[in-house]
Amino acid sequence: MTKRLTALTARTAHLLDLATRTRFPYQAATIRIGFSLVFATFLIREWPHRRTLYGDHSPWSREMALRVIGEDQAFTALAWWPGHWWFETVYHGTLLAALLLMVGWRSRAMSGLFMVGVLSLEFRAPYLGDGGDSVFITMAVYLVLIRCGEVWSLDACRRRAGAEDRSGPLLWQLTGVLLGLVLGLPDFGWAGLLWALWAGCGLRFAADRWFPRHEARTVLDGLTAMLHNVGMLIIAVQVCFIYATAGWYKIQGSRWQEGSALHYALHLDHFRPWPMLSDLLAAGMIPVVLLGYATVAVQVAFPFTLASRKIKNTLLAVMMVEHAGIAVVLGLPFLSAAMIVCDALFLPTALLLWIDSRLDRRGLRPGSGSEVPAAVPSIPEGRRPEPAKHLGR
């Protein structure tokens, strides 16, 4: 009985140790860099048309937008104040947050500001998107849950250098003042969620400053790591749902069943940025039919291939090439880029570690010269066990 209890205790301790480690930090950094870069590029590209798309020149007026937002219980910071200058502040603030999140400066705070900016712009004009807007909205929310700045970030460089955190608390105080002026007291809606994020960041700053070696800090770090792991799992499941639903909906369509869906898509004016290329591809009916069937098969099969590393990695390469082709042929660069970033979540850790070593060798990685394990322990330095040797898949 004593041996069984000892074995159960050891197994429980092992599972708890696995749960309180930040899993897949390189994949988290990849999607952080990818989504912030793609959305920042989108904002820069649409900068000359920003007022027509989301501002006071938009055909979708502010009154109509507020009505739909109220019915859908959506969120946009553009509803807080009217006027051109507030719109400019939100637009350029979102761009700045995306760029800072991309380089990993105050990743946790910037992920929250990035979420606010993405939701504010996308829900201001919800009928402008091409499918990529839904991906951006979903992933911007999930980025708040994960530790996306453990590697490949200025935050990681600062932690390795042991520099004192001075700007973080100041940024937290300024954000609290802004929330108080704009939102007032928290409630059970979006205001309550933003205040909860603000309070969580404050709790972390307090623990780092006043209780760096206390047991409460260990518990807080473990809970944060578990939230990260759950967030990474949710993102993976969400990507699987995207592909599965897209594939099964295609199966139900008669055009996809007979294999002519891509032929018709290549003849739509909205999806012909290169007419000569579209005509050339549409001329071969048999390749178009085979490509349509292959697209459906890949999307339906993807969630079931995650159990096999070799098949999954092969299918990832095929899907990334397919999205790149869609970006060029059908003129959907941002939707395709968003899906490529989603695919990057499933890249093998060994490949990302190889990329990290190459960057380190060339001196391009922030804080190069220090080793980062594939699973980052979430326990203060004085209590950390030996880094995990197993790199996963």
The pLDDT value recorded for residue 24 is 92
Contacts 24+ apart (CB under 8 A), 126-131: 126/68, 126/74, 127/60, 128/53, 128/60, 130/332, 130/334, 130/335, 131/332, 131/335
Rounded to whole angstroms, the Cα distance separating 328 from 336 reads 9
Q: Is 336 exposed, middle or buried (0-12, 13-18, 19+ CB in 10 A)?
A: buried
What does pTM read for this prediction?
Answer: 0.86
The pLDDT value recorded for residue 392 is 41
Rounded to whole angstroms, the Cα distance separating 169 from 283 reads 61
Q: Per residue of the chain (393 residues), what is the pLDDT tens digit?
A: 676 766 666 666 666 666 678 889 999 999 999 999 999 999 999 999 999 999 888 888 888 988 988 888 888 888 888 888 999 999 999 999 999 999 999 898 899 999 999 999 999 988 887 778 889 999 999 999 999 999 999 988 888 887 777 777 788 888 888 888 777 766 667 778 888 888 888 887 777 777 777 777 778 888 888 999 999 999 999 999 999 999 999 988 888 888 888 888 888 888 889 999 988 988 888 888 999 999 999 999 998 988 888 899 999 999 999 999 999 999 999 999 999 999 999 999 999 999 988 887 776 666 444 445 556 555 443 344 344 333 344
The pLDDT value recorded for residue 48 is 94
Q: Which two tokens stand for residue 117?
A: 């900016």
Query: Residue 302 has what DSSP assignment?
Result: G
